[in-house]
Amino acid sequence: MTDVYGPAKRSAVMAQVKGKDTTPEMKVRKALTRLGARYRLHRKDLPGSPDIVLPGRRLAIFVHGCFWHGHDCARGARVPKANRDYWVAKVGRNRARDLVSQDALAALGWRVETIWECDLKDGAALTARLAGLLAARP
């Protein structure tokens, strides 16, 4: 099956996909702020440039979209029908890169936590999970 858009239009559509300050990331940041946590964003000096970093707690948080990082939920398991081989390879590369980043952070003594987009549906559970992460010391 061919793409429904031409190359120029597809490029414009894909350019609109954000990598920072996404809606799921903003929800996690607001929950952390409500809990009184102080954090830094997108630290380039750490492997994988984690979305949220709590330096005093040695905690790096990645907020992943289920589709883009191949989560095992219904949304993440869905593969587009158009250009299937490309998308399977793309998500596979993302997952491999995520593992390398997590391993490198762990080797540096950081705790690494991944929060999936589907985890944000239950706000109370998210708040409880974040509170538990903040309570645990390295």
The span from the CA of 88 to the CA of 21, in Å, is 25
The number of angstroms, rounded, from the C-alpha of 44 to the middle of its chain's C-alpha atoms is 15
The span from the CA of 78 to the CA of 26, in Å, is 24
Which domains are seen in the chain, by residue range? 7-135 (3.40.960.10)
* Overall pTM surpassing 0.75 (yes/no): yes
**Total length of the chain:** 138
pLDDT tens column, 24-71: 999 999 999 999 999 999 999 999 999 999 999 999 999 999 998 999
Q: Which tokens belong to 3?
A: 């793409």
pLDDT tens column, 65-91: 999 899 999 888 888 888 889 889 999
The residue-averaged pLDDT of 100-111 equals: 97
